[in-house]
Amino acid sequence: MLFGSRITTHFDYILILLILPLIFTSLYLLSETSQTLLIRQSSYAFLGIFIFLFIFFIPFRYLYKGVVVFYIVCILLLLAVEVIGTTKLGAQRWINIGGFSLQPSEPVKIAVVLFLAHYVQKNPPPEEGYDWIEFFKISIFILIPFFLILIEPDLGSAIIVLVMGYGMLFIIGVHKKVWLTCIIAGLLFSPIAFKFVLKPYQVDRIMKLVSGNTSSQVQQSLIAVGSGGLTGRNYEDATQANLKFLPVATSDFIFAHFAERFGFLGSCALIALYLFIVLHLLSFCFLDSQDYFLKVIASCLAMLFFVYTSVNIAMTIELAPVVGIPLPLFSYGGSSFITFVILIAMFENAATFRFSFSNFKETTPFGNFMRIPKRRMKH
């Protein structure tokens, strides 16, 4: 009874109510585009329910060793991409395991979030924020997957890991002198990175964006967004998506498809919905000043929603280079969708059981045999 009442009382229903319109609207757009894609995405959504329920009941707060192993395995998978990885669309990002294709950059995001949550919980920042030593330690855990993903090359996913990690640190707390030094170093290093780190095609995309000489993909996207007008077009008149002028209208450029159908007002409503999700997640960072595990997961998930959404929308309206980042829980595809489902389940777990993580028996359905001695749970 206590366990069930704890779930019904502290479970965050608001987040679920905010993401459901995204999923249903996405399925509606897919139904107009391809019945095959609709069936596949519906299967991902159906599978996501079971994955959510499974992940929700995993006691992540007490699986520190398992989280470390998971992080190391994900790093090894990223290294394996360079040796046995398969190439698709000019990038070596996948590993074939039997008949299954795995993109390690997706699970590594989950591993980084969990690892950082445990590390910060065990090493909370002082009142003035982390100093150089702790900042350097945490940076290692962020930069290792960042560089391994960058050399695949997958600039979009690499940027996501970087912004997610350091965005979380900004919310948790780092000394101002550290941030000032990093900003100056970043400005000085950016020309070097532009010259020697980025791939030629990545530099070409940036130069085209700056010069205004955008690709045909972006041009068709701009036409679709503009043709939506104030309130959008009906299905028969939405020619950009229906006549296949708009490329990848179900994934990378699905926002342009949505804007053509629902116009400026619909686009503003969609952006506002994502903004509410980000602000709602960030609000959990201020519930309990001592629960850094929840703070890290909530802030990382908020950063992911913010970066994915802002970059995807920006690239469809010629404000950012095309980097292949999907719109969260909206674009067609299973990998990103399931990753977000897992992260949302982890957040719900941390939020639901936040009031009793000092007593493991009351907060998990696994019984006494998994209970951790209290002396090991002190931080």
Q: Which residue has the higher pLDDT, 368 or 129?
A: 129
Predicted confidence at residue 91, as pLDDT, reads 64
pLDDT at 123 over 60: yes
Tokens for 217?
Answer: 């993909």
| Burial 71-110, CB ≥16 within 10 A → b, else e | beebbebbeebeeebeeeeebbbbbeeeeeebbbbbbbbb
Q: Which residue has the higher pLDDT, 330 or 101?
A: 330
What are the pLDDT digits (tens) for 42-62? Answer: 999 999 999 999 999 998 988
What are the pLDDT digits (tens) for 265-284? Answer: 999 999 999 999 999 999 99
What are the pLDDT digits (tens) for 3-45? Answer: 566 677 778 999 999 999 999 999 999 988 888 889 999 999 9
Tell me, what amino acid is at 82? E
Cα distance between residue 164 and residue 4, in whole Å: 33
CA 332 from centroid of its chain's CA atoms: 15
| Total residues found in the chain within this entry | 379
* Alpha helices (H) in 57-175, listed in sequence order: 64-84, 105-122, 132-150, 155-172
What are the pLDDT digits (tens) for 194-227? Answer: 766 677 766 777 776 666 667 777 888 888 888 8
Look over the chain and give the mean of its residue pLDDT values, rounded to a whole number.
84
Tokens for 347?
Answer: 């957040």
Predicted confidence at residue 6, as pLDDT, reads 65
Tell me, what amino acid is at 247? P
Neighbours of 369 (CB within 10 A): 5
Instruction: Judge whether 111 and 74 are in contact, CB under 8 Å.
Output: yes
Return the SS3 of 356: coil
Cα distance between residue 356 and residue 378, in whole Å: 13
Average pLDDT over residues 90-97: 69
Closest by alpha carbon to 75, among 136, 135, 147? 147
Q: Quick one: angle between helices 216-227 and 254-283, nearest 10?
A: 80
Instruction: Judge whether 221 and 317 are in contact, CB under 8 Å.
Output: yes
Cα distance between residue 44 and residue 49, in whole Å: 9
**Beta strand spans in 54-168 (E):** 86-88, 91-97, 100-102
Average pLDDT over residues 289-296: 90
Instruction: Judge whether 115 and 141 are in contact, CB under 8 Å.
Output: yes
Predicted confidence at residue 196, as pLDDT, reads 66
Say what the pTM is: 0.86
Predicted confidence at residue 54, as pLDDT, reads 95
Q: Which residue has the higher pLDDT, 57 or 193?
A: 57
Rg (Cα) of the chain, in Å, rounded? 22
What are the pLDDT digits (tens) for 332-365? Answer: 888 889 999 999 999 999 998 876 554 443 333 3
Q: pLDDT confidence of 98, banded at 50, 70, 90?
A: low
What are the pLDDT digits (tens) for 242-269? Answer: 767 787 788 888 999 999 999 999 999 9
